[in-house]
């Protein structure tokens, strides 16, 4: 069956969120990341005005300052962006049962089974774009095509605030004139190696002999050729198939999309535990604890938090999941590993303790993924309004991050800018301490939520 995918990528996401929340920034060059004086740090996002001066994600702030002395440098507010991202993902789920977040500001929707509800693919694309803009005042670009990679390249080619539909059968013709590195998944090193073979465009790559590609790139070689011809359905399709199977097993529309080599082991267990088992650091109102269980097969990294009083507000619990995900993500990245199973631990005020777990789309150390899945687990397991005494998040089924070659193959600009964001956030915590960041969390969280929730009048 011919499938159709819609790729949506938010335009200059972090910068757009900042512009929305502070209209005085409109029309000015804005760089997120780096210190206010633009002397230290790395830029994680630049708005389109700043891009005219050559500013871009991954650039040292000092260089950005030289290129554009007028630029406004703003600190990274990761919580605000992840929250905005989660709202966007939720909105996207109204348009397709199969939404795959690819990064904090990108998602791919399989729209095959919902296309008939709309006049055309283009009409659906416009609807999605305007729904997000109307609700959150954030611009995006949409690409639609018969496979996720072509849809992404189509979106990249239509930025900013654009929409491009590649008709079925038109994939190869659309891709042919583009330089090889415009294909997502073809990084700098692969592009350079292709150029050395005289292959500069995707058309040339698509026409190259499998034998030649195999000789230089191993088993991935012929896959590169397929990608260039717009034929490669790849991981997304497999994921989608598995996700559908998982859904039919659980029949829960909001169930996390578990997949890949994972037993779709969502489980809720009751762990009766005694009051004495709770964490009660002497005199401390609250206690933050870290757990690293090193049983041979069940390695996991987790953090938990015991609250001074009961917490019954959904927003506050979601905020704590953000904070816990950041701590876990950071420790996991430091350890040089990734994990595939996320477990939420929740203790009610009567000490009834639940462990709820989900497989993740793929092994990750990505905070954004941990937050989204942590929220979903909370939604599934928490009895709304009931007081919570402790929350914990842990990442399990840990394994070392795969070899460089593999990473480069699927390394898009999104991943790189996210990594620089994490570096920035991690170094911030190194300087000011994790606890300080965590303590400030509650109030900051409420503030950013208030700003976001009034949407339209901004
Ligand atoms: Mg983007």
Bridge partners of 359? 341
Determine the distance separating the centroid of ligand 1 and the alpha carbon of 155, expressed in angstroms. 10
CA pair distance 290, 303, nearest whole angstrom:
5
Please say if the pLDDT value at position 455 is more than 50. no
Give the closest residue to 319 by CA, choosing from 86, 19, 15, 105: 86
Determine the distance separating the centroid of ligand 1 and the alpha carbon of 14, expressed in angstroms. 9
Residues 6+ apart with CB under 8 A from 16: 10, 47, 138, 139
* pLDDT (mean) for 149-172: 96
C-alpha pair distances (Å), 59 with each of 26, 48, 80, 251 = 22, 15, 22, 45
Q: What is the pLDDT of residues 253-290, one digit of tens each?
A: 332 322 222 222 222 222 223 333 333 222 232 333 33
C-alpha pair distances (Å), 259 with each of 17, 247, 274, 359, 411 = 31, 10, 35, 7, 20
Q: What's the full length of the chain, in residues?
A: 458
Determine the distance separating the centroid of ligand 1 and the alpha carbon of 315, expressed in angstroms. 26
CA pair distance 78, 329, nearest whole angstrom:
13
Q: What is the pLDDT of residues 310-350, one digit of tens each?
A: 888 888 888 888 888 988 988 888 777 889 999 999 999 88
* pLDDT (mean) for 170-180: 96
Q: Mean pLDDT lowest for which of 49-53, 54-58, 244-248?
A: 244-248
User: Does residue 415 fall inside a structural domain?
Assistant: no
Determine the distance separating the centroid of ligand 1 and the alpha carbon of 27, expressed in angstroms. 19
User: Does residue 8 fall inside a structural domain?
Assistant: no
The reported pLDDT for the residue numbered 82 is: 80
Determine the distance separating the centroid of ligand 1 and the alpha carbon of 399, expressed in angstroms. 29
Higher pLDDT, 121 or 398: 121
CA pair distance 415, 156, nearest whole angstrom:
15
Candidate ranges 57-66, 180-189, 252-261; pick with highest mean pLDDT: 57-66
Burial degree of 397 (CB within 10 A; 0-12, 13-18, 19+): buried
Determine the distance separating the centroid of ligand 1 and the alpha carbon of 12, expressed in angstroms. 5
| Domain containing residue 321: CATH number | 3.30.1490.100
Q: What is the pLDDT of residues 186-236, one digit of tens each?
A: 888 889 999 999 999 999 999 999 999 999 888 888 888 999 999 865 444
Determine the distance separating the centroid of ligand 1 and the alpha carbon of 9, expressed in angstroms. 5
Number of Cβ within a 10 Å radius of residue 95:
19
Give the closest residue to 197 by CA, choosing from 182, 213, 176: 213
Residues 6+ apart with CB under 8 A from 456: 134, 135, 137
Domain ranges, residue 261: 256-401
CA pair distance 246, 453, nearest whole angstrom:
33
User: Does the pTM exceed 0.85?
Assistant: no
Q: What is the pLDDT of residues 346-365, one digit of tens each?
A: 999 888 899 998 988 888 88
Please say if the pLDDT value at position 415 is more than 60. no
106 is an active site residue: yes
Residues 6+ apart with CB under 8 A from 395: 300, 301, 302, 328, 332, 339, 341, 342, 343, 365, 370
CA atoms within a 13 Å half-sphere pointing along the CA-CB vector of 229 = 12
C-alpha pair distances (Å), 167 with each of 128, 147, 175, 183, 285 = 19, 11, 12, 18, 60
Contact 28, 70 (CB under 8 A): yes
CA pair distance 10, 48, nearest whole angstrom:
12
Contact 15, 31 (CB under 8 A): yes
User: Does residue 102 fall inside a structural domain?
Assistant: no
Give the closest residue to 138 by CA, choosing from 379, 457, 391, 455: 455
CA atoms within a 13 Å half-sphere pointing along the CA-CB vector of 316 = 19
The reported pLDDT for the residue numbered 411 is: 39
Domain count, the chain: 1
Number of Cβ within a 10 Å radius of residue 299:
17
CA pair distance 158, 269, nearest whole angstrom:
48
User: Does residue 48 fall inside a structural domain?
Assistant: no
User: Does residue 273 fall inside a structural domain?
Assistant: yes
Determine the distance separating the centroid of ligand 1 and the alpha carbon of 55, expressed in angstroms. 15
Candidate ranges 36-40, 186-190, 291-295, 391-395; pick with highest mean pLDDT: 391-395
Label residues 345-364 b or e (16+ Cβ within 10 Å = b).
Answer: bbbbeebebbbbbbbbbbbb
Determine the distance separating the centroid of ligand 1 and the alpha carbon of 138, expressed in angstroms. 11
Q: Catalytic pick from 18, 19, 106, 367? A: 106
User: Does residue 327 fall inside a structural domain?
Assistant: yes
User: Does residue 142 fall inside a structural domain?
Assistant: no
The dihedral sign for the CA sequence 274, 279, 284, 287: negative
DSSP string for 48-111: HHHHTTT--TT-BHHHHHHH-TTPEEE---HHHHHHHHHHHHHHHTTT-S-EEEEETTEEEEE-
Bridge partners of 346? 354, 391
User: Does residue 317 fall inside a structural domain?
Assistant: yes
Give the closest residue to 369 by CA, choosing from 241, 259, 253: 259
The reported pLDDT for the residue numbered 426 is: 53
Please say if the pLDDT value at position 94 is more than 50. yes
């Amino acid at each position: 069956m011919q499938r159709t995918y819609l790729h949506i990528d938010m335009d200059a996401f972090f910068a757009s969120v900042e512009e929305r929340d502070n209209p005085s920034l409109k029309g000015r060059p804005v760089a997120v990341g780096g210190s206010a004086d633009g002397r230290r740090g790395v830029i994680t996002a630049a708005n389109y005005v700043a891009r005219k001066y050559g500013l871009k994600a991954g650039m040292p702030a000092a260089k950005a300052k030289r290129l554009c002395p007028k630029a406004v440098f703003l600190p990274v507010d990761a919580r605000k962006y992840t929250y905005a991202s989660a709202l966007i993902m939720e909105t996207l789920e109204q348009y397709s049962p199969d939404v795959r977040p690819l990064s904090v500001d990108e998602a791919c929707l399989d729209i095959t089974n919902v296309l008939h509800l709309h006049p055309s693919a283009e009409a659906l694309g416009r609807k999605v774009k305007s729904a997000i803009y109307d609700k959150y005042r954030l611009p995006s670009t949409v690409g639609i095509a018969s496979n996720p990679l072509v849809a992404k390249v189509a979106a990249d080619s239509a930025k900013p605030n654009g929409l491009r539909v590649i008709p079925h059968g038109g994939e190869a013709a659309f891709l042919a004139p583009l330089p090889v590195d415009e294909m997502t998944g073809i990084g700098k090193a692969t592009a350079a190696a292709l150029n050395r073979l005289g292959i500069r465009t995707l058309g040339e790559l698509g026409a190259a002999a499998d034998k030649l590609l195999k000789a230089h790139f191993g088993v991935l070689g012929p896959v590169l050729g397929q990608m260039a011809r717009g034929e490669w359905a790849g991981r997304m399709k497999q994921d989608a198939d598995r996700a559908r199977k998982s859904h039919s097993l659980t029949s829960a529309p909001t169930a996390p999309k578990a997949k890949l080599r994972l037993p779709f082991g969502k489980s809720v267990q009751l762990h009766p535990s005694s009051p004495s088992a709770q964490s009660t650091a002497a005199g401390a109102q609250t206690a933050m604890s870290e757990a690293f269980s090193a049983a041979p097969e069940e390695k996991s990294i987790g953090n938990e938090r015991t609250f001074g009083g009961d917490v019954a507000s959904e927003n506050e619990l979601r905020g704590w999941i953000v904070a816990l995900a950041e701590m876990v993500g950071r420790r996991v990245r430091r350890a040089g590993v990734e994990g595939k199973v996320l477990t939420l631990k929740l203790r009610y005020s009567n000490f009834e303790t639940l462990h709820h777990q989900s497989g993740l789309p793929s092994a990750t150390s990505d905070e954004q993924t941990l937050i989204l899945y942590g929220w979903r687990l909370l939604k599934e397991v928490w009895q709304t309004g009931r007081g919570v005494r402790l929350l914990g998040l842990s990442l399990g089924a840990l394994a070392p991050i795969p070899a460089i070659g593999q990473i480069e193959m699927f390394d898009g600009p999104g991943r790189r800018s996210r990594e620089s964001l994490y570096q920035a956030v991690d170094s911030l915590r190194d300087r000011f301490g994790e606890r300080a960041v965590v303590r400030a969390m509650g109030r900051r969280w409420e503030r950013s939520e208030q700003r976001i929730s009034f949407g339209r009048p901004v």
